[in-house]
Amino acid sequence: MMRVGIIGAMDVEVTSIKERMTIDKIEQVGDNTYYLGKIGDTEVVVARCGIGKVNAAICATTMCVKYDVTHILNTGIAGSLDNQINIGDIVVSTDAVYHDFSVEPFGYPAGMVPGRKTISFTADETLRKLVVDSIQKVAPEIQVFEGRVASGDIFVGQKEKKDWIISNFGAKCCEMEGCAIAHVATDYHIPFVIVRAISDKADEESTVSYEDFEAQAAEHCANLVFQVLQSL
């Protein structure tokens, strides 16, 4: 039985999903509220985790341990790190990295968590392809890019920082939760994918762009996720 955990950092990233799903039960665990029900024939658990990596990890762990989700889908918004990826476009993760994690003085590359074999957490290929194919089917006018997602507890709004992340990690977009969710999902052997709508270009204009397009991009992404799950 498939049970998909859907996690967004902010209310705007999950509200349209909650409004359109069939809700059977609402439960409070810690500071998070979990909505249990169905989208089409697929069982789902939907939650707003709050901004940042720790909040995301807490929510993802609850999804895995308490609700026994079989898959995790992280929806939301991100800043573009690729000139070809514009506001409103979608990035679907191939993998995820921490751009703000470093123990380099001990010989580890930037982003490497000691004890891991690689710096990245790989998204499930089958789930990723399903999401990409579904988006292209239900919204063929949308530009969809597949690539690495870089996460950190920093809103990236400076070209210097943006260029550093691109140079060190080759990521397509940056945000603040995805890699923590990927980390937890990997530890619990749960297939995951991150789906992000671009709200800004992660540069000096990003705060203006973010304020203008935050709600639009978040709802855009949530609507696509809803349609993807309906097609499962």
**Structural contact between residues 200 and 206, judged by C-beta atoms closer than 8 angstroms:** yes
Task: Give the residue carrying structure tokens 């978040």.
Answer: 218
Q: Select from 23, 24, 22, 36 the least CA-distant residue to 66.
A: 36
Annotated catalytic residue within 13, 43, 89, 95? 13
Tokens of 204: 């000096």
Tell me whether residue 82 is one of the annotated catalytic residues. no
Distances (CA, A) of 219 to 17, 77, 121, 224: 9, 9, 26, 9
88 touches 213 (CB < 8 A) = yes
**Alpha carbons 90 and 51: distance in angstroms, whole number:** 20
Question: Which residue among 82, 95, 100, 200 is the active-site one?
Answer: 200
Assess whether 177 carries a catalytic annotation.
Answer: no
Q: Could you give the CA distance from residue 32 to residue 50 in angstroms, rounded to a whole number?
A: 8
- 148 near 170, Cβ under 8 Å? yes
Residues with catalytic annotation? Answer: 13, 200
